[in-house]
Amino acid sequence: MLHVVYRVGDMDKTIKFYQDAFGMQLLRQRDIPEGKYSNAFLGYGTESEGKYFSIELTYNYGVTSYKMGNAFQGMGLSLPDLRSVSKKVGGAGGAVVSGPEDVEYGPCIIPDEEVGKKTIATVMKVTDPDGYAFEVTERARRDPVSKVCLHVSNLEAAVEFYEKALGMTMFYRRSNVPYDPSIVVGLGYGAADDTTILELRYEYGNDKLDMGEAYGQIAVGTPDVYKAADSITSAGYEIARAPGPVPGIGTKIVAVRDPDGYKIVLVDQEDLEKELQEG
């Protein structure tokens, strides 16, 4: 997992909010006048070799707001002092929706945890200046960006896609009832506690997705975009963007869409390293 992409109406304001409220670093920034847009990457450490996950903000010239929809459910962060974060959020232009409060979670179905097991977590929900949701959990973590959450209409079809087409591993499957009327599945690469997870959320009684205009895509690294494309088609899924270099940048990518239409871009890891070195 490399980064998530979504659109903002005021780049400078959002960058300052992420820095002041969450303690993120501005990793890199670029302006593309010919495309009439700019990008900024924020996170907690280097993107090189996928060591840290980043958030890529996109600002399209002259567009100050976007229809949010209900598809992109937001981000998860793990930070050690929620009281301090809570004080900073409002002053930086965001809003505290709830918490900090202790939330009780039931056992996971996968892995098969014992019946009756309860997990207590201190959680706070906030929104950034554009209204994007962040679920902030109180704990220290090597990479504080813990998850990207997407609302899906068919959980089983979505899980099958990410496992078969993208080779992800299922880390957990858990019902959030009664805290939240949903069931969630967390998938990704590597170790669950040391990587940013893709969390798929199915809300009971609500399988209608409004994709909105704000959310863009998730980027995943791969050693060979052409082999990745072959693997995806072999798994029975269609390629949305044929493998090859991005005009003007040169980095090779291939794109695919999951059963709900979410876009995933696979990025050549060697090309990305060159892009990072060049600035």
Tokens of 234: 């072999």
Q: Which residues pair with 103 in a beta bridge?
A: 121
Q: Is 31 helix (H, G, I), strand (E, B) or coil?
A: strand
- Measured distance CA(186)–CA(196) in Å, rounded: 10
Specify whether the CB–CB gap between 13 and 111 falls below 8 A: no
Residue 74 token pair: 């937001």
Preceding peptide of 259 cis, ω within 30°: no
- Residues with catalytic annotation? 135
Q: Which two tokens stand for residue 245?
A: 């270099």
Under DSSP, is residue 198 helix (H, G, I), strand (E, B) or coil? strand
Angle in degrees, CA 240, 72, 201, rounded to 5: 100
> 54 with 25: CB under 8 angstroms?
no
